[in-house]
Amino acid sequence: MANLKSTFLVYNNLRISIEVMILKNNSTGIIEKELYGYTTEKIPVYQYTLLNKNGLMIKILNYGGIITNFWVPDNSGIFHDIVLGFDSLEEYEKFNSNYFFGAIIGRYANRIANGRFTIDGISYQLALNDGNFPNSLHGGIKGFHTRVFKSIPLSTPIGPSLILKYLSHDGEEGYPGNLDVSIKYTLNNENELIVEFFAITDKPTIVNLTQHSYFNLSGDGDIYNHRLQINSDYITPVNNFLVPTGEIKQTEGTIYDFRAPKILGELLTKNYEYDINYVLNKSKNDLTFAAKLESLDTGISMEIFTTKPGLQLYTGNYLNGLIGKFGKIYNKHFGICLEPQFFPDSPNQEKFPNVILYPKEIYNHKIIYRLV
């Protein structure tokens, strides 16, 4: 059972009156399925809409596990779509290997230097797909962001869920082992988006999975009027190819210090830009507060929690006149990525956390995006 509540959404800078479905307190929420399109290989792709009892709504594709829309109300009850993306499957197929809007990233998120790593004395070579840099990036040319997942919608006591499953075969993109992956999205009635990752392998391999949404809590424009806090005292500095040097350095007194909240415009407008991994203040596997992002325009605020030790901060440095959803133009700094994960290039860095998954082990990772 549900009732309708009059509210507004912002669509292409227009304020439009809509009726938002608000569900009764005991509702498990709603999940709906629609055909989104066909890949160039003629595989059908579906979009799932998850709605919780408070009217928050998220749309997810089984192509790449992509979050296409995330509608959230501001302090005045006006709904804003807080993630960047495209309007069509054709655009995601054509352009998203350059941007990774909203996608699940795997097998290995972030960069691996020279696309090479060694496990138990055996060396493996991955594709180099990081532009002019000699790195493997975000799982390769046909990483998980390009794959069609098997999808299982669920109604749960806490809200609607979507399970996505994919078997990555031995040798896919150069990675060893058959990796069986499951991702569970849940939009609960506490206004949290929970993303849970699980994986098992039949051969030693490396695994580092994350979610790669670009957030803009103002719903439009740049992120200069966003305030950011990161629960970290250290970063992993990078070389000219954006690969960690192996050092771990303190952020205190530097432009990387977000222990206390800072307004992004005060830094980004000074030609500071960010594409760097933070070492989170946390115990090994505990779910821990990682970051808080807030729009001073809308008052929408989001807290991020993770079980992994790192958080990649990326400030949309390579957006440059790209046409996105609703015909909006995405320019530099129009979105921010906060990617919980293992550290970049960990397979080649002895001092970084271990990322090798062996048979009979279970990889798991949990991220919570809490709208507060």
DSSP secondary structure string, 88-129? SHHHHHHHHHHH-TTEEE-SB-SEEETTEEEETTEEEE----
**Is 173 labeled as catalytic in the residue annotation?**
no
pLDDT of residue 9: 54
Q: Sorting pLDDT into bands at 50, 70 and 90, what band is 372? A: confident
Residue 175 CA to residue 179 CA, distance in Å, equals 9
Burial 114-129 (b: 16+ CB within 10 A, else e): bbbbebeeeebebebb
* pLDDT at residue 4 tops 50: no
* pLDDT at residue 13 tops 70: no
Residue holding tokens 């015909």? 327
* pLDDT at residue 5 tops 60: no
Query: Do 193 and 70 form a contact (C-beta atoms < 8 A)?
Result: yes
Residue 348 CA to residue 242 CA, distance in Å, equals 14
Residue 267's H or E segment, with its range, is helix 265-268
Question: pLDDT digit string (tens) for 97-146?
Answer: 999 999 999 999 999 999 999 999 999 999 999 999 999 999 999 999 99
Closest CA to 139 of 341, 352, 309, 311: 341
Closest CA to 33 of 43, 24, 44, 25: 44
What does the pLDDT average to over 251-256?
97
pLDDT of residue 328: 96
Q: Sorting pLDDT into bands at 50, 70 and 90, what band is 12? A: very low
**Is 212 labeled as catalytic in the residue annotation?**
yes
Residue 191 CA to residue 369 CA, distance in Å, equals 9
Residue 265 CA to residue 227 CA, distance in Å, equals 9
At 288, list the tokens: 């821990």
The pair phi, psi for residue 208, each rounded to 5°, is -160, 100
Residue 185 CA to residue 153 CA, distance in Å, equals 10
Question: pLDDT digit string (tens) for 339-360?
Answer: 999 999 999 999 999 999 999 9
Identify residue 370 by its one-letter amino acid code.
R
**Residues in contact with 26: Cβ distance below 8 Å, sequence separation at least 6, in sequence order:** none
pLDDT of residue 28: 77
Residue holding tokens 């809509």? 18
* pLDDT at residue 25 tops 60: no
* pLDDT at residue 330 tops 80: yes
**Residues in contact with 134: Cβ distance below 8 Å, sequence separation at least 6, in sequence order:** 113, 114, 115, 128, 241
Residue from 80, 145, 212, 333 carrying the catalytic annotation: 212
Question: pLDDT digit string (tens) for 180-234?
Answer: 999 999 999 999 999 999 999 999 999 999 999 999 999 999 999 999 999 999 9
* pLDDT at residue 68 tops 70: yes
Residue from 172, 173, 294, 339 carrying the catalytic annotation: 339
What does the pLDDT average to over 367-372?
96
Closest CA to 308 of 105, 157, 135: 105
Does the model's pTM come out above 0.75? yes
Q: Sorting pLDDT into bands at 50, 70 and 90, what band is 21? A: low
Q: Sorting pLDDT into bands at 50, 70 and 90, what band is 17? A: very low
**Residues in contact with 360: Cβ distance below 8 Å, sequence separation at least 6, in sequence order:** none
* pLDDT at residue 20 tops 80: no
